[in-house]
Amino acid sequence: MGLVGLHSGTIDMEFIGVEDHGDEEGKQIAVSVISSGKNADKTEDPDSLIFTGFGGTDMYHGQPCNQKLERLNIPLEAAFRKKSIVRVVRCMKDEKRTNGNIYIYDGTYMITNRWEEEGQNGFIVFKFKLVREPDQKPAFGIWKSIQNWRNGLSIRPGLILEDLSNGAENLKVCLVNEVDKENGPALFRYVTSLIHEVINNIPSMVDRCACGRRSCGSKHVFREKLSVSSSLVISAKKSGNVARFMNHSCSPNVFWQSIAREQNGLWCLYIGFFAMKHIPPLTELRYDYGKSRGGGKKMCLCRTKKCCGSFG
């Protein structure tokens, strides 16, 4: 986290120095916190966070005591009074590793309230409520939803079919519609291998793979200026895999590319999808259906800043 500038401290809070203008408690202000350990929030609300203050142990005798507005609690108090933005990182247990943790950067928050209450040991602790700033892409919220879906997909909003592949894939392929009430295709067969016509001769084929070297020995060849008959159609209307249900976007993060692959001495056409840019985890993959210039037959629901309103 320190390398990417999220959190450089060795404790669960990072603060910076500021001009105090005579305010002794304003010399330092919190800029980021990690919700973990004794400071962790137990509610796991994706839109807010209750952060427990620091202290509560006598530094000389190691005995429990009341938390005080001193040391590391002062930067948190300053951020609350000055209404400054605080970066939040959520720490969750990694179920696949005994002593492992997963750290999720959850965006910027603002401390909206601070109070004192009696802790489990009977001593006073400080509590800080942080509320997530609006218009941010969900992070911890998505992760939490996926954890809940693993326990039972029936609670997932817009669920049409729990496993479209009917057990053909190692992981369940959910069919979900969170936009309207349209159901999935009535007659659809999930396939794990391509069903195609074998083409004996493909004109204008360039014998070059993705590495850029000619005749490198690879059997995956990307075509350039491939000229084929207009009657050749690769359709996933009645059969296909998970890529068949990828949504359209006027600002896509992947693009499709036709690929010719050698199979038993013959050429077969495939469709491949490739990232256009860095795609963060849990981000929906979308591509341009090909006519995102407005005036199309179907209304576009991608909701991006460059949305043309229609496509097709």
**What 3-state DSSP class applies to 52?**
strand
Which residue ranges form the domains of the chain, and what is each CATH number?
A: 13-143 (2.30.280.10), 157-184 (no CATH), 191-312 (2.170.270)
What confidence score (pLDDT) does residue 262 get?
79
Q: Which residues of the chain have pLDDT under 50?
A: 198-200, 202-226, 228-230
Residue list for the binding site: 250, 300, 302, 307
CB contact set of 145 (below 8 Å; sequence gap of 6+): 156
Phi, psi torsion values for 46, nearest 5 degrees? -70, -15
What is the 8-class DSSP label of residue 147? Answer: H
The string of pLDDT tens digits covering residues 93-125 is 887 777 788 888 999 999 999 999 998 889 999
What confidence score (pLDDT) does residue 274 get?
95
Residue list for the binding site for Zn(2+): 250, 300, 302, 307
CA angle (119 as vertex; 115, 123 as ends), nearest 5? 95
CB contact set of 254 (below 8 Å; sequence gap of 6+): 246, 273, 274, 275, 276, 279, 285, 286, 287
**3 state SS for 56-95:** CECCCCCCECCCCCCCCHHHHHHHHHHCCEEEEEEEEECC
CA distance 304 to 69: 45
What confidence score (pLDDT) does residue 253 get?
95
The string of pLDDT tens digits covering residues 209-253 is 343 433 333 333 333 344 544 456 677 778 888 888 888 898 999
CB contact set of 133 (below 8 Å; sequence gap of 6+): 85, 107, 108, 109, 110
